[in-house]
Amino acid sequence: MTRPRVGMLCYGTEQGLSYLAKSFYDAGVIDEVLLINYTAKGTRPMHPEWYPNAISIGSVRPMTGEGLDQVLDSLDIMLFFETPFDWDFPARCSSYGVKTVCMPMHEWYPQGKADVFDLMLCPSKLDQDYFPGSPLFQPPVDPKTWQLRTEACRFVHNAGNIGHRFHKGTLEVLKAVKHIKSDLTLTIRVQDTEYFKQLIRQTPEVEKDPRVTIERGSIPYEDLYHTHDVAVVPEKFNGLSLPLQEARAAGLLVMTTDRYPANTWLPKDPLIPVASVHKARVSGGCLEFEESVVDPKMVALMMDTWYEENLRDYSLSGLEWARANSWEVKKPLLLEMLEGL
């Protein structure tokens, strides 16, 4: 069977959703790219060089771009990550005979749109719960990022662009600092410095703590986990978490919240207990989800507990996990699903 021609609609900016899309392109799954011209408050530069032959999308409602119709006419499948931006666009793809596939993020998915796509490609077990009957495809990782970590001394929290409802647990990490008793070092990295100011105003002692380094601005993607031993990410509600996957594949100890679905694929010992759970939404029109509450004192306790612990076996198991979840292993499975449409 001839491999279907696959297009994707995406950003080319320095944020998780863009890096997710780029991994599919770099793996050779994508034949055509529709690149949305987008920046947010000047904090997320565009990278058109990622996709040299992309069709530039100047407007997403309705979707317009020079050569767009010709591209649709040449494709078999259109892949979306989280959203099609213009919810009429999937029907337009269908009018050209193009099958539509969405990798949903359940927390951002609008109510009443369950039947828009031909296939929902779920990136986590939690997303599968929201879209029953859909296949699971946890995005692959790159084993080449792995390094052996031997002792838990250098902790890192990559806050990035902070995230809606502070879902990465950045505020909890900041509040944990004053409760940390050990001499560990903690690096906090943040891209959206204006948003971060709202958090640091609540925890002014952090900037005075000699154990803490705050790095503002963008860090090269490949360097995010290069010089640390433990990734501290007390997440609150998402299903897919690229930072957790990347840290695990890089050989770090992954210290996140003991919540589903992270606790189904990560070793349990370093996970931070959940204090309580409540219902929430990112906006009124999106699906409801369970949001975890995390006690900063418990974050500090777990960091102290693991400080100076031997990480060799944990780190080596990360390499095994990365190899089992690499593009080399999982790309054929993805292509088989796409060919079946």
The model's pTM is: 0.94
What mean pLDDT is predicted for residues 324-328?
98
What mean pLDDT is predicted for residues 276-290?
96
Task: Give me the pLDDT at residue 328, please.
Answer: 98
Task: Give me the pLDDT at residue 45, please.
Answer: 76
Domain with CATH 3.40.50.2000 in the chain: 143-323
What mean pLDDT is predicted for residues 268-276?
98
Q: Class of 6-138+327-339 per CATH?
A: alpha beta
| For residue 160, pLDDT beyond 90 | no
**From 26-40, 171-185, 261-275, 279-293, the region with the lowest mean pLDDT:** 26-40
pLDDT digits (tens, 9 = 90+) for 179-222: 999 999 999 999 877 888 889 999 999 999 999 999 998 877 77
Instruction: Give the CATH number of domain 143-323.
Output: 3.40.50.2000
| pLDDT category of residue 39 using cuts at 50, 70 and 90 | low
What mean pLDDT is predicted for residues 2-26?
93
Task: Give me the pLDDT at residue 43, please.
Answer: 57
| For residue 78, pLDDT beyond 90 | yes
Task: Give me the pLDDT at residue 41, please.
Answer: 47
Bridge partners, residue 253, by sequence: 230
**From 11-20, 71-80, 87-96, 205-214, the region with the lowest mean pLDDT:** 11-20
> Of 143, 101, 104, 99, whose CA–CA distance to 250 is shortest?
143
Strands 6-10, 32-36: pairing is parallel
| pLDDT category of residue 60 using cuts at 50, 70 and 90 | confident
Give the C-alpha separation, 98 to 7, whole Å.
10
**Between 40 and 233, residue with greater pLDDT:** 233
| For residue 225, pLDDT beyond 50 | yes
CA distances in angstroms from 23 to 131, 250, 322, listed in the order given? 23, 16, 15
Task: Give me the pLDDT at residue 42, please.
Answer: 52
DSSP structure class, residue 336: H
CA distances in angstroms from 154 to 120, 151, 225, listed in the order given? 39, 8, 10
Mean pLDDT, the chain, whole residue set: 94
**From 131-145, 191-205, 222-236, the region with the lowest mean pLDDT:** 191-205
Supply the DSSP string of 204-245, one letter for each residue. GGGGG-TTEEEEES---GGGTTTT-SEEEE---S-S--HHHH
Given its phi and psi angles, is residue 78 left (phi above 0), alpha (psi -120 to 50 degrees) or beta? beta
Tokens 């930072």, located at residue = 243
What mean pLDDT is predicted for residues 41-54?
81
| pLDDT category of residue 1 using cuts at 50, 70 and 90 | low
